[in-house]
Structure 1
Amino acid sequence: MSVVTKDITEKNEQVTNELFPVFLKLDHLKVLLVGAGKIGLEKVTALLQNSPRTTIKVVAKEVTPAFRAFTEGYDNVRIEERGYEATDLEACDVAIVAANDKILSQAIFTAARQQNKLINVADTPEYCDFYLGSIVKKGNLKIAISTNGKSPTMAKRIKEVLNDALPQELNDSIDNLHKVRNKLNGNFEYKVKKLNKLTKVLLEDDTAFNEKKWRRIATYSLLAFGLMLVGHFTFTYIIPFESIKNGLLSLYSTLDASFLVMFAAGFFAQLVDGALGMGYGVVSATVLLSAGVSPAAISGSIHTAEMFASGASGYSHYKFGNVNKKLFKALVLPGVIGAVAGAWLLYYLGEEYSNLVRPILACYTLLLGIKILYTAYQNQIKKKKFKHYKALAGAGGFFDSFGGGGWGPIVTTTLITKGRSPKYVIGSVSITEFFVTLSSALTFFLLLGVTHWQTILGLIVGGLVAAPIAARLVGKLPRRTALILVGVLVIVWSVRILIKVL
């Protein structure tokens, strides 16, 4: 090894992150934030998302509308539109500077050092006593990520990876271990040994894992071979391939020209619904309305087809780890009750309601489209406590049956705007949707029977093809872009229907 290479290697080995990680109880401290622009918004967002009760004094000559909108409703945030004064620093415990003024930033840093105050100056590591790292939060579990101030972008990417990799159920495990810990008797050493024994099962032995892996492979291979034998016997002696081919050709010849349109509608509707947690009923309803199908038949067709698509979608979301079990349990029963009530009411309003309901449903989907666009342009979503899951699910199920769509836009949009994780909201709402659509479809079947079977078949086939693709793509499309696309599409279809009616 050359001398130069050796020196570089030794230098790289000596470079380490010497920051000491701590978690501050900011709600016990007073924070001064200088600046209320784009950087200031990032800082105040990080503070309030992690410690919403922190007392924050904001000093800035100009306050952006986005900053003011985000902090609105926080009584513990006081904004003073003026220049920085020396007395501002004296009244705080921690200072964060997000002002685009190097001279002012340096002056505040010097004063903070003289007064023994902790300070962070944005994008200026040499003026920082601490960094605001990227945070991964799963209930009581919180992980802070630091790159020693070298690359905030890398910290952000690692945060996204961990946020997707760590299951939401980790918080349930922490709560359960806390309860066990409180019940344990004995000294500290005994408690540590007992908890270590309980959590040891989380670390599966590599040998056992490999054994299970090869056992699964062997089992699946035997099943595949068995199915091949059964299939060969069935298609050779019981149902020859020639009979199957003739039957499929006969079925295809009975399909009208609209089948491919319905297939495309089912595929796109499920792709949107599976990826965004909304849109299947809205998109399908607007297409069928424009085709002149009656409202009761629309809702019956949509829910019969959606039953299959939502089942495939829910299973796919479950396999990809997108489902929160507690949220599912809170939504499923009220959603089913609401769906049955909506289907029953729509049927008993009678055919005279048909001509009246068409523009009303178009207005309804138009309003949903506007709401989706409004949600897309909200810069920040403030976390709020939400307890009315049963009422929300009941209303979503009712309007989904009654209006031919609305479960996703009502339930998903509401939960996301309350600050819940979009990934788990979409997955949980999608698997719940199967039971909601199943109950609605059964109700319509008992009341109407099965009509428009070609429409239903097209929607089913298109939805089944799109379901696993959508579950895999959930969260990949930028949130704003996705919501804008859905909102614009729904609005265009709704306006088109209104024009035809009027």
Structure 2
Amino acid sequence: MNNLFPVFIKLEHLRLLIVGGGNVCLEKLQGVLQNSPATTITVVAPVIAGPVRDLAAQHANIHLVQRPYQRTDLEGADIAIVAVDDRAVSETIARDAKEAGILVNVADTPDLCDFYLSSVIRKGNLKIAISTNGKSPTIAKRLKEELGGMIPDEMESVLNNMQTIRQRLNGDFPEKVRQLNELTKVLVAKQATPEIQPRHSRWQQIVKWCLFAFCFMIIGHGLLSYIPFTGVIGFFRGLPQRFDINTFLIMALAGFLAQMVDGSMGLGYGTISTTFLLAYGVPPAIVSSRVHSARVFSSGVSGYSHHRFGNINKKLFRAIVIPGIIGAVLGAAMAYFGQGYSKYVRIPLSAYTIYLGYYILRKAFAKRNPKDKVKGAGWLASAGGFTDAFAGGGWGTLVTSTLISKRRNPRYVIGSVCLAEFFVVLASSITFFILLKSIPLVDVAGMILGGMIAAPIAARLVGKLPVKTMFIAVGSLVIITSCSTLWKSILLMIHH
């Protein structure tokens, strides 16, 4: 059993001693400063690392003492943290602290600890501490990432509003408790479910009806364009000769693989499918329209599945969906009116995404900063939507790669980008349909089927990979696909 008693300490009213000056000391210092930045801290160590000195230079409340530990260092301290890699020294400091009546934490040595440092989720005034009783700090960090993404950013406003309401309540203590219970029971009451559920599934309903509308549009186009009503019987008799089963199966495999990558990592569908279609001999001028026609269905199922599995960050989704749609419409129009120039966009785009792949790989092995913020997400989405429609790919590679390099949890980035991708692709596909007055149904039917099969599988896999593995996979994929696109674009320009 975990018999630890959880408390939240006003550490800024106490004096903290940290023994050790290496990376573990730096980690403890950062944790303390993030939660209680005004705490009086003394660091004692014979060798103090450069990053620790840099951090101390930024905070006047950190005092550095460069020499070996002495028992007198405990005088005046209220709490001690031992961050050295010598078991004997750690035992000595822990024994001295206990004799002095000072609570001590010894890093990675649970049997010498009086208390453990927990993983902390922070949302404004809300703090949630997670403890595994010293069994696995890694599990605590993973739970912190998962739970942190589930708590909405609006929680700070909720707390402020509840404080205002609490201050205005009248009556004695039992009456105030009763009134607060009435106000907050909507958060847990079963009878509130029917009122909450429609809001929760709103985007699922929007995706479903948009898919139905686009499907009916394609069916109508097929009936009017492909079936000669003056010779219906002859048309169906000749259908087996027009339908190439090998081409259909190849397209289905391409759609399946492209959507598996896109749905689980949030990028790669346009790049993979565009490269495949070019290699298969499809003229570059109509590649983008075919790719987007197939992606409407697969991205719709993918977005629906991500919403169902709770992979959506609503704030991020709202920030990118409208700018992405605007960029896609402009890109589709530019692709139609300037079909011969789309190849020039791929070279700078590929160079940029190769750098992004390197940046993401570096992020996989570097310590991530929880203060990283996504800035200019709307402009990023506009650029991603434009290049995706204009050059046949780039939404996932641009948007997901940039966002995932800044945010701590790839799961919610990928889910949000995939849901927004449906509306971006739908907008560009309708634009292509209006301008080209046709949709190549037979050529992309296999890609549609393969993508729709892969979409729910990929959405289920997105939260299963470890964060570091996800970064490595995404970075490697970006570099490989971008190098392929760059090489083909250079060859295409040389031939022209």
TM-score normalised by structure 1 residue count: 0.73
Give the AA of the match of 1:273. D
Secondary structure class of the residue paired with 1:382: coil
CA distance in 1, matches of 2:93, 2:152: 41
Residues 139-178 of structure 1 deviation map (CA, whole Å, 9 limit, x = unaligned): 65433233544x2369639937973996547837555544
Map of 1:230 onto structure 2: none
Letter in 2 for 1:301: R
Among 314, 331, 340, the residue aligned to 2:329 = 340
User: What is aligned with 2:397?
Assistant: 409
In the other structure, the counterpart of 1:22 is 7
Aligned to 1:124: 109
Q: Is the 8 A contact 1:287 1:493 kept in 2?
A: no
Alignment partners' CA distance in 1, 2:382 and 2:401: 15
The C-alpha deviation readout for 1:350-399, integer Å capped at 9, x for no partner, is 42x25545545544554444344334333424323445333333233233
Task: Assess if the C-alpha contact under 8 Å between 1:169 and 1:324 holds in 2.
Answer: no
Equivalences for 1:265-276 in 2 at 5 Å? 265-276=254-265
Specify every segment of 5 or more residues in structure 2 that has no aligned partner in the other structure, as ranges: 198-231
Given that 1:30 and 1:54 are in contact with CA atoms closer than 8 Å, whether structure 2 keeps it comes out as yes
C-alpha spacing 1:109/1:282, structure 2 compared with 1 (3 Å): same
Match in the other structure for 1:446: 434
Residue 478 (structure 1) aligned to one of 462, 466, 469: 466
Separation in 1 of the partners of 2:451 and 2:27? Answer: 40
> Cα–Cα, structure 1 residues 423 and 118, in superposed 2: closer, same or farther, change >3 Å?
same
User: Counterpart in 2 of 1:232?
Assistant: none
1:144-293 equivalences under 5 Å are 144-149=129-134, 151-152=135-136, 156=140, 159=143, 163=147, 168=152, 171=155, 174=159, 177-204=162-189, 250=239, 254-255=243-244, 257-291=246-280, 293=282
Instruction: Kindly report which structure 2 residues correspond to 1:21-40, keeping only aligned pairs within 5 A, or say none.
Output: 21-26=6-11, 31-35=16-20, 39-40=24-25
SS of 2:81's partner is: strand
Aligned-pair identity (%): 48
Aligned to 1:425: 413
1:391 match: secondary structure: helix
Match for residue 365 of structure 2?
377
CA distance in 1, matches of 2:63, 2:86: 19
**Map of 1:59-74 to 2, 5 A cutoff?**
none
Contact 1:372 1:409 in 2 (8 A): no
Q: Following the alignment from structure 1 to structure 2, what is the Cα–Cα distance between the partners of residues 326 and 270?
A: 25
**In structure 2, how many angstroms separate the alpha carbons of the residues matched to 1:276 and 1:288?**
21
Q: Which amino acid aligns with 1:131?
A: Y
Aligned to 2:376: 388
Q: Given that residues 383 and 418 in structure 1 are in contact (C-alpha distance below 8 angstroms), is that contact kept between their aligned partners in structure 2?
A: no
- Please state how far the C-alpha of 1:319 moved relative to its aligned partner: 1.4
Structure 1 residues 180 and 305 mapped into 2: Cα distance closer, same or farther (>3 Å)? farther
Residues 118-145 of structure 1: CA distance to partner in whole angstroms, max 9, x if unpaired? 4211233343232113445566543323
Offset at 1:323?
1.9
| Residues in 2 aligned to 1:277 and 1:69: alpha-carbon distance in whole angstroms | 40
1:327 corresponds in structure 2 to: 316
Q: Structure 1 residues 477 and 161 mapped into 2: Cα distance closer, same or farther (>3 Å)?
A: same
| Residue 10 (structure 1) aligns with | none
Is the CA contact 1:54–1:76 (under 8 Å) kept in the aligned structure 2? no
CA distance in 1, matches of 2:266, 2:237: 34
The CA distance in 2 between the partners of 1:497 and 1:390, in whole Å, is 26
**Kindly tell me: are residues 28 and 292 of structure 1, through their superposed partners in 2, closer, same or farther at Cα, counting changes over 3 Å?**
farther
Distance 1:38 1:85, change over 3 A: closer
* Separation of aligned partners in 1, 2:49 and 2:287: 47
Indicate the residue corresponding to 1:466 in structure 2: 454
Using a 3 Å threshold, how does the CA distance of structure 1 residues 265 and 371 change in structure 2: closer, same or farther?
farther
Distance in 1 separating the partners of 2:121 and 2:364: 23
Give 1:35 deviation, angstroms. Answer: 4.0
Q: Describe the superposition over 1:449-485 as per-residue Cα deviations: whole angstroms up to 9, x where unpaired.
A: 4455444323222211111111111210123323333
State the match for 2:296 in structure 1. Answer: 307
**Structure 1 residues 164 and 358: CA distance shift in structure 2, 3 A:** closer
Tell me the equivalent position of 2:90: 105
Q: 1:165 to 1:381 in 2, by over 3 A?
A: closer
Q: 1:153 to 1:484 in 2, by over 3 A?
A: closer
> Deviation string for 1:65-93 (max 9, x for gaps)?
9x789979976897979554447656865
1:2-31: CA deviation from partner (whole Å, max 9, x where unpaired): xxxxxxxxxxxxx771x3321134466665
Q: CA RMSD in A?
A: 4.4
Give TM-score scaled by structure 2 length.
0.74
Cα distance in 2, alignment partners of residues 27 and 185 from structure 1: 34
Indicate conservation of the 8 Å contact 2:361/2:471, yes or no.
yes
Aligned partners of 2:325 and 2:117: how far apart in 1?
A: 45
Query: C-alpha separation between the residues in 2 aligned to 1:461 and 1:70?
Result: 56
User: In 2, Cα distance between the equivalents of 1:404 and 1:84?
Assistant: 63
Q: How many residues were matched structurally?
A: 450
Tell me if the contact between 1:266 and 1:462 (Cα under 8 Å) persists in the aligned partners: yes
Letter in 2 for 1:163: L
Query: What is the deviation of 1:100?
Result: 0.8
Question: Letter of the aligned partner of 1:394 in structure 2?
Answer: S
Change (3 A) 1:34 1:457: farther
Deviation of the 1:284 alpha carbon = 2.6
Distance 1:439 1:270 in 2: 19
Q: Which residue of 1 aligns with 2:483?
A: 495
State the alpha-carbon separation in 2 of the partners of residues 398 and 379 from structure 1. Answer: 33
Gaps of 5+ in 1: 1-14, 213-242
